[in-house]
Each structure stands twice: as C-alpha cells, then as structure tokens.
C-alpha cells in the first residue's frame, strides 16, 4: 500500500473551476433516452448541487451539495460535526471512521449522496447526554490516546468492532483495528480500552 499523506486544505470544496468543462463534456443524449436514468443534477447543471437528506446521530439534515462532496466533508464542512477527522482522505488511516447502519466505514471514500436514507453515527452521537459511551469512558480510563487526532476514528471503529463480534484475544483486536493508524503509537492502551469495553458488554 502506498502511503499518501497529502493534506488537502481545500478538499472537496475547490470545485468551481472544474465546473465549466464538466458541463461541456456532459453528454446531452442521455436525457433523450428512454429507460435510462435521468442524471442528477438535472439538465441545468449550473447549480451543480443536489438535494441530499442525511440522518446523522438521529437528526435529519437537508443539504444542497455538489455530488462530489464526500460524506466526510459533508459532516465536517456542511453539518459542522468536526469530530470526525480527515487524515489521508484515501482510506489509508481510519481517522474518518463513522458508523453507517451500525457498520464502521471510511467516510472519506463514500459520497454524501450515496448515504441518503442511512443512519449515520459519528463520535458526537455516541454519548447519551452527559453519559459517555462505554467505549469513550474506557479510552479515557486507559489513556488510549496522546494527541487525540485519531481518537474519534479509533472509538467509532472500536464500537463497530464490538458490533461485529469477531475479536476476542488481544491479537484479534489488534488485527481488526488495523484500519486505524495512530501516529502517536497509543496502540497498547487502545487495545486495553477495547478489551475492557468488550468485557463489560452484556
């Protein structure tokens, strides 16, 4: 695997300049065909935005977004949930991990438009009021972080791991948490935290 840690400051938002060419390329004939999908955005693409409803942590968000916006950027830049982090933007670090219908995924490699109708849970949605999710509490108790940048992804991933139920031993936890890189190397404490949360499961 090629590690490509390029930080994109403007990320998905730097789109306006490419718009014109894209409109020019867009094949007009697709609109005329019968039994073909009428593409979104519809014939006038000048707006280049599509309506998308996202259900995040139980709340509905009606957005108008460019179809290129990833779920990660929609969460952070549009909805304002900045708990989910962008590390690599290429599926290689796990900082952007969120739960979609209870399953952990990398939010940088899916489009927001693809997640309409799904139940998305981010780090902000794990606690119940002031009561931390047991995984959050375990990370604090075991000091499962240093700088904290990877932590939201680690915790969401760990919650997904417990939902999946395939890890018992420390080695299995390590292997099934390998999708989350910690640059600070807090791995031993992360494993301890997850094992404690796992043992408290009913």
Binding site for another protein (CB under 8 A): 1-2, 4, 12, 15, 18-19, 21-23, 25-27, 29-30, 33, 35-41, 45, 48, 50, 66-68, 70, 89-91, 94, 97, 103-106, 109-111, 113-114, 157, 160-161, 164, 166, 174-180
Q: Which of residues 150-179 bind ligand FES (CB under 6 A)?
A: 150-151
Number of CB atoms found within 10 A of residue 201's CB:
8
Q: How many residues bind ligand FES (CB under 6 A)?
A: 23
Tell the smallest beta-carbon distance from residue 65 to ligand FES (Å).
18
In this structure, what token pair is assigned to residue 168?
A: 């018992």
- Which of 92, 121, 136, 192 touches ligand FES (CB under 6 A)? 92
Which C-beta is closer to ligand FES: that of 48 or that of 177? 177
Residue number with CB closer to another protein (143 or 164): 164
Count of Cβ atoms closer than 10 Å to residue 164 Cβ: 12
C-alpha–C-alpha distance, residues 87 and 49, integer Å? 26
Pairing mode, strands 50-56 and 97-100? unpaired
Cβ atoms < 10 Å from Cβ of 202: 2
Which of these, 173, 180, 171, 175, lies nearest to 197 by C-alpha position? 173
The bridge status of strand 59-65 relative to strand 103-106 is: unpaired
Interacting residue ranges for ligand FES, rule: CB under 6 A: 86-89, 91-96, 106, 108, 145-151, 182-184, 186
């Amino acid at each position: 695997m090629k590690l490509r840690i390029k930080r994109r400051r403007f990320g998905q938002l730097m789109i306006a300049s490419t718009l014109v060419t894209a409109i020019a390329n867009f094949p007009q004939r697709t609109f005329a065909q019968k039994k073909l999908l009428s593409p979104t955005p519809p014939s006038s693409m000048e707006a280049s935005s599509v309506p998308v409803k996202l259900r995040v942590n139980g709340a509905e968000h009606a957005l108008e977004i460019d179809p290129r916006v990833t779920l990660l950027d929609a969460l952070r830049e549009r909805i304002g949930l900045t708990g989910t982090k962008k590390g690599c933007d290429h599926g290689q670090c796990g900082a952007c991990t969120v739960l979609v219908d209870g399953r952990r995924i990398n939010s940088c490699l899916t489009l927001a438009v693809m997640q309409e109708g799904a139940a998305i849970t981010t780090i902000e949605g794990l606690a119940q009021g002031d009561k931390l999710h047991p995984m959050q509490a375990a990370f604090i108790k075991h000091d499962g972080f240093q700088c904290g940048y990877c932590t939201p992804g680690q915790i969401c991933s760990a919650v997904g791991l417990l939902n999946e139920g395939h890890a018992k031993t420390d080695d299995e936890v390590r292997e099934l948490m390998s999708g989350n890189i910690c640059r600070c190397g807090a791995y031993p404490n992360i494993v301890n935290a997850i094992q404690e949360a796992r043992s408290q499961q009913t």
